[in-house]
Amino acid sequence: MTPLPTPDDALERLLREDARREVPDDGFTRRVMEAMPAAPARAWLRPALLLGSAALGGLLAWLLEPAGASILRGFLDLARLDSRTPSALAALGAVVAIAVTAGVLAAEED
Amino acid sequence: MTERPEPADAELVVAAAVRGDREAFSRLVRRHQGLVRAVLRRLTRGDHGLADDLAQETFLLAWRKLPAFRFDARFSTWLYRIAFNAWLSEARRRREVLLEDHELPPEPGGEAAPPGADPADRVDLERALATLSDGERAAIAACYYADLTHEEAAEAIGIPLGTVKTHILRAKAKLRARLEKEPR
């Protein structure tokens, strides 16, 4: 003989049944998808632009640098604490450009 | 021709998080909206409008946080935590929420049916649940509606395991008393 359900069984069953009850979507998913932020531009585009600009800048600096000057010579000048030569200025510019690019990319990663 | 089986949550989460696949995320929303909205309806004492607003907020936040999901819990448990926190923030904006082992002040009319309820009407579970304290309702919502274990519920709600068990026992005693008092 099956025992009569105790009040606790009945409550347990009531809770479980209520929890299993389907909540109809009724357009909820569509509303969520419509409220989602617009898709960002392709993730690779921004770093590619930054790195491309830095590379182009470096190439132009190398092509247009005054005769006899070089980035390497600039670093040697800087090491001698002489920052007023064209080479030293070019080296400083390159360092700043790389630092800014790295900073922007690091911020993007966050 | 056999139909392709529904992809698992993990597969959809990876597609949405890694490739930004909105269709995959939309399938996750459709799959879990029932649980999230049911839980929030219980937490908001049956306020379906507020529950749906919070459910929408939950899924938008989930979309933003998806890359941080580490599969150390079920996706539904992770969603429950976001939904619970959304409710908690909203409730705290409105008033103090008591999740620890405190009793809320009795509602006007004491043990009588909530204001506006017709005593002749069948007392449904939703109305009975609405009379529980915040902590008791949160524990019932977590363990029954979100199907969490007591341990998972304690972690998600941020209260000790013993308090969850106390809330469940106390809530069930109150529900039983109310449902017996006004039989269905």
Q: Is B144's CB within 8 Å of A19's CB?
A: yes
Output the average pLDDT for chain B.
82
- Residues from chain B that touch A16, judged by Cβ atoms under 8 A, are 144
R_g of chain A computed on alpha carbons? 33
Of A25, A35, A37, the CB nearest to B56: A35
Does residue B158 come out as left (phi exceeding 0), alpha (psi in the -120 to 50 range) or beta?
A: left
**Nearest chain B Cα distance for residue A36, angstroms:** 6
**pLDDT tens readout for residues A52-105:** 887 887 777 777 666 666 777 888 888 888 878 877 887 888 788 778 877 777
Question: What's the pLDDT at A55?
Answer: 80
pLDDT higher than 50, residue B120: no
Q: What is the mean pLDDT of residues B100-116?
A: 42
Number of H helices, E strands in chain A: 5, 0
- Chain B CB within 8 Å of residue A19 CB: yes
Domain boundaries, chain A: 45-109
- Residues from chain B that touch A28, judged by Cβ atoms under 8 A, are 29, 33, 37, 52, 55-56
Kindly report which listed range (A90-99, B18-27, B100-109) carries the lowest average pLDDT score.
B100-109
pLDDT higher than 70, residue B146: yes
Q: What is the mean pLDDT of residues B71-99?
A: 85
Q: Is B144's CB within 8 Å of A8's CB?
A: no
- Residues from chain B that touch A32, judged by Cβ atoms under 8 A, are 26, 29, 33, 56, 59-60
Burial class (CB in 10 A: 0-12, 13-18, 19+), A95: middle
Give the C-alpha separation, B63 to B13, whole Å.
Answer: 10
Q: What is the mean pLDDT of residues B105-125?
A: 42
SS3 of chain B: the string is CCCCCCCCHHHHHHHHHHHCCHHHHHHHHHHHHHHHHHHHHHHCCCCHHHHHHHHHHHHHHHHHHHHHCCCCCCHHHHHHHHHHHHHHHHHHHHCCCCCCCCCCCCCCCCCCCCCCCCCCCCCCHHHHHHCCCHHHHHHHHHHHHCCCCHHHHHHHHCCCHHHHHHHHHHHHHHHHHHHHHCCC
**Nearest chain A Cα distance for residue B42, angstroms:** 10
Chain B residue with the nearest C-alpha to that of A12:
B172
Q: Which two tokens stand for residue A37?
A: 């932020």
| Angle subtended by helix axes B75-94 and B48-65, to nearest 10 | 130
Kindly report which listed range (B1-10, B123-132, B133-142) carries the lowest average pLDDT score.
B1-10
User: Would you place residue B108 in the very low, low, confident or very high pLDDT band (cuts 50, 70, 90)?
Assistant: very low
User: Would you place residue B110 in the very low, low, confident or very high pLDDT band (cuts 50, 70, 90)?
Assistant: very low
User: Would you place residue A27 in the very low, low, confident or very high pLDDT band (cuts 50, 70, 90)?
Assistant: very high
Domains recognised in chain B with CATH numbers: 1-97 (1.10.1740.10), 98-184 (1.10.10.10)
In a mutational test of the A interface, the residue from B36, B124, B125 whose CB has the highest number of chain A CBs within 10 Å is B125
- Residues from chain B that touch A26, judged by Cβ atoms under 8 A, are none
* Residue whose tokens read 């099956």: A2
**pLDDT tens readout for residues B27-76:** 999 999 999 999 999 999 889 999 999 999 999 999 999 988 888 888 98
DSSP, collapsed to helix, strand or coil, labels residue A100 as helix
